[in-house]
């Protein structure tokens, strides 16, 4: 029996890309610019910035939380409503129709202007106060004692 001659290979045999021309063509991921995160700091830089800005690491500064001091605030209406109870407990002094309240003893730093004021309030130890709260207190004949700045 005669042996058949070996057939020529049908595979693409060419320079570089084996029949796909001179470009990188069909060689792995050359046509796409690489696999995975290849080129994220070179030829795919803009795409990386738009789609994954956290890729480049940490940004900015985070202030330590123990340094941050949030001022504790109270509305002037709440002080007005609680003035009688504060006087009974000894946290405020009532003389006639006037209530003298030390805000620092209550643990507050700032007074806000929400609520109605119906009593004369003399507030001491105030670190900060809004304009509206000051207006409401002075309209009823009260005073606000702010430390000298």
pLDDT in tens, 107-149: 999 999 999 999 999 999 999 999 999 999 999 999 999 876 5
Cα separation of 145 and 149, whole Å? 12
Q: Is the pTM of this model over 0.75?
A: no
Q: How is the chain split into domains, by residue range? A: 14-60, 73-144
**CA dihedral (37, 41, 42, 45) positive or negative:** positive
Which of 2.60.40.420, 3.100.10.10, 3.30.479.30, 3.30.565.10 would CATH assign to domain 73-144? 3.100.10.10
């Amino acid at each position: 029996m005669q042996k058949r001659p070996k057939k020529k290979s049908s595979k693409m045999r060419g320079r570089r890309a084996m029949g796909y021309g001179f470009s990188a063509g069909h060689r792995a991921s050359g046509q796409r610019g690489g696999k995975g995160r290849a080129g994220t700091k070179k030829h795919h830089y803009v795409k990386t910035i738009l789609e994954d800005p956290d890729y480049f690491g940490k940004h900015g500064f985070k202030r330590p939380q123990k340094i941050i001091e949030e001022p504790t605030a109270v509305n002037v209406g709440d002080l007005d409503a609680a003035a009688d109870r504060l006087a009974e407990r000894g946290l405020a002094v009532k003389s006639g129709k006037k209530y003298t309240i030390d805000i620092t003893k209550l643990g507050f730093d700032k007074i806000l202007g929400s609520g109605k004021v119906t009593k004369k309030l003399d507030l001491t130890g105030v670190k900060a106060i809004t304009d509206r709260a000051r207006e409401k207190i002075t309209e009823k004949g009260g005073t606000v004692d702010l430390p000298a700045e």
